[in-house]
Structure formats: C-alpha cells, structure tokens
Amino acid sequence: MAEGATRETALREAEAACLRRGATLTPLRRQVLELVLDSEAPVGAYALLDRLKASRPGAAPPTVYRALDFLLENGLVHKLERLNAYVGCTDAGHAHGHDHHHHPHQFLICRTCGATTEITDHAVTHAIDAAARRAGFALAQATVEIEGTCARCLAA
C-alpha cells in the first residue's frame, strides 16, 4: 500500500467489487477504506477513529466498527487477529476467482518494522485443507499469521 497508484487502483477495484456484489460503498465506508489503505502498517480501529474525526467530528466507535464490518464482509480489508488491527486486502481482484469473500490468504508480520505482507501460498492452503479433512473437520476459514523479521529488517 501507500504508493499512490496502488491506492487508487485498490479503490477502483473496491467499487467494482461492491457493484458486482450488490453492496454499497458509501462515502463513509469509502473514507474508512482510504484511511486503511493510507497506512503503511496495520492500523487499529481507534487510530482510524481519530483520523476520521478530522473530517467527521461526530464519529464514534460504532461509526468505524460498522464501516470495518462492511469492509471485512466484502473482503476489502482483513483483520490481523494477533494485532487487533486492520489492513487493506492486497489480493487485487480476487473476487474474480472466488464468489465468496474469504479467499484463502496468509500474513507475514515483521516484529521489527511492523510491516505486514499478505500472501496466498497454495501449498499452505492445501496443507491446511488436508489437515482439516483428515480430522473430519469442515473448514470455513483459516487464520494464518506468521510473525518474525522481514527481509529488509534482516539486512539492516
């Protein structure tokens, strides 16, 4: 995120995805999405709320949580459970391949710089599917959050 071009692309794709799904990307929701996309690292709900207040003084926790719920539902952002923070979905256009909004994905979270990378590793996905199947477990969604040190911080 954060390189200008990507942000605009992501926003355009978000609007297209909502259109396809019959969902409405209202100004408020779009603004929260912009705030998430503008963050380098995962961003907490209350940090979003603070920034939102600059243009909407009346904003309260439910304001941002409702918008986040919508964005999560529609696969436009993801939540990092270990951090209680949110990131934009960078798997541009995944909706083409998936009717459902929860495409399989994993995160690499750097403990040093906080940067978070979304990946879609099919070997991981398959191994998890297989493990669930072996346990007779019907998988709905898998959370994979890998913590460590990113390549850039290792170099430094």
Partner DNA sequence: GGGTTGATGATATAATATCCCAAGGTGCCG
Partner DNA sequence: CGGCACCTTGGGATATTATATCATCAACCC
Q: Which residues form the interface with DNA (CB under 7 A)?
A: 23-24, 26-29, 44-47, 56, 58-63, 65-67, 69-70, 79, 84-85
CA 116, CA 79: separation in Å to the nearest integer? 11
The verdict on 98 binding a copy of itself (CB under 8 A) reads no
**DSSP label at residue 69:** H
2-10, 37-45, 85-93, 128-136 -> range binding a copy of itself (CB under 8 A): 128-136
Closest to DNA by CB, 26 or 120? 26
**DSSP label at residue 94:** G
Burial of 117 (0-12, 13-18, 19+ CB in 10 A): middle
- Residues 6 or more apart whose CB falls under 8 angstroms from that of 142 comprise 104, 125, 128, 132
How many residues bind a copy of itself (CB under 8 A)? The answer is 35
| Residue 118 and residue 87 in contact, taking contact as beta carbons nearer than 8 Å | yes
| Partner whose binding site includes residue 92, from DNA, a copy of itself, none (CB under 5 to 8 Å by kind) | none
Among 40, 62, 81, 93, binds a copy of itself (CB under 8 A): 81
Query: Residue 98: how many CB atoms within 10 A of its CB?
Result: 12
Rule CB under 8 A: which residues touch a copy of itself? 81-82, 106, 108, 110-111, 117, 119, 121, 123-124, 126-128, 130-132, 135-151, 154
